[in-house]
């Protein structure tokens, strides 16, 4: 591309000639300056020979040029480069709109799964009630009462059903992380209660309840389940 801007031979750049000496005698002394008139004569002659003829612009051509320039300036806030920025912003808007559509579609699909999972919602609602009972017992330092609800292992029936519901309604990696945290914390909770370790039981309970609450927020079930 750079080579297209190199100067080419121009036949209009001809040697300048001066022949003004014969015509200066008729001028008055006050208006005559030999040196200045000689230079002016040379410049005029060179300009006439070197400059290519300029075609007069039509009014229609000038009008179109002005309209086009004004339009480009209006797009760029006064800079022609702003037109490119406007195009880029439009592309960003399209991408954002597509993302919003996909997110909305995903939420609707998730809502449809939740609405049709009545059994799983029942398991999770039972989980909320059971965790509430365990929390009240631990707050009262009544670990035997907490143990009677939790059972001796994670194989307790209500925990098994709750875990099935959690796995079925989990779709994203973030949700899966919260489910894993919940399950491991519940195992620690059961172990701490069986050891009659009140402090460890409180820590494990808080971790379990927090993980479950975050999961319900991610899935949208926080607005469906009661007692949260």
Q: At what angle do helices 173-194 and 143-150 cross, to 10 degrees?
A: 130
Q: At what angle do helices 157-168 and 173-194 cross, to 10 degrees?
A: 170
Task: Report the alpha-carbon distance of residue 222 to residue 111 in Å, rounded.
Answer: 12
Where do runs of H (alpha helix) occur along the chain?
A: 34-50, 59-75, 82-116, 118-139, 143-150, 157-168, 173-194, 198-219
Chain segment 96-142, per-residue pLDDT in tens:
877 787 767 666 666 777 777 899 999 999 999 999 999 999 999 99
Task: Report the alpha-carbon distance of residue 148 to residue 126 in Å, rounded.
Answer: 15
Chain segment 8-18, per-residue pLDDT in tens:
444 433 344 44
Cβ(168)–Cβ(123) below 8 Å:
no
Chain segment 27-75, per-residue pLDDT in tens:
444 443 444 444 444 444 444 444 455 445 555 554 555 445 554 445 4
- Res 92: pLDDT: 74
85 against 13, higher pLDDT: 85
Q: What is the pTM of this model?
A: 0.56
Q: What is the mean pLDDT of the chain?
A: 74
């Amino acid at each position: 591309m750079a080579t297209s801007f190199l100067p080419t031979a121009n036949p209009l750049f001809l040697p300048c000639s001066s022949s003004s000496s014969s015509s200066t005698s008729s001028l008055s002394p006050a208006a005559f300056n030999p040196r200045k008139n000689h230079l002016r004569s040379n410049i005029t002659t060179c300009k006439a020979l070197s400059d290519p003829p300029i075609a007069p612009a039509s009014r229609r051509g000038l009008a179109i040029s002005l309209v086009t320039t004004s339009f480009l300036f209006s797009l760029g806030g006064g800079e022609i480069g702003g037109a490119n920025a406007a195009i880029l912003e439009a592309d960003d808007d399209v991408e954002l709109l597509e993302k919003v559509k996909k997110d909305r579609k995903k939420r609707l699909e998730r809502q449809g799964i939740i609405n049709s999972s009545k059994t799983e919602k029942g398991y999770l609602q039972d989980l909320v009630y059971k965790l509430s009972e365990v929390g009240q017992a631990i707050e009262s330092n009544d670990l035997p009462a907490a143990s009677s609800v939790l059972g001796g292992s994670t194989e307790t029936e209500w925990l098994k059903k709750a875990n099935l519901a959690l796995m079925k309604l989990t779709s994203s990696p973030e949700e899966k992380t919260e489910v894993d945290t919940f399950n491991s914390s519940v195992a620690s909770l059961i172990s701490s209660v069986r050891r009659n370790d009140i402090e460890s039981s409180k820590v494990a309970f808080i971790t379990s309840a927090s993980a479950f609450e975050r999961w319900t927020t991610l899935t949208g079930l926080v607005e469906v389940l009661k007692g949260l």
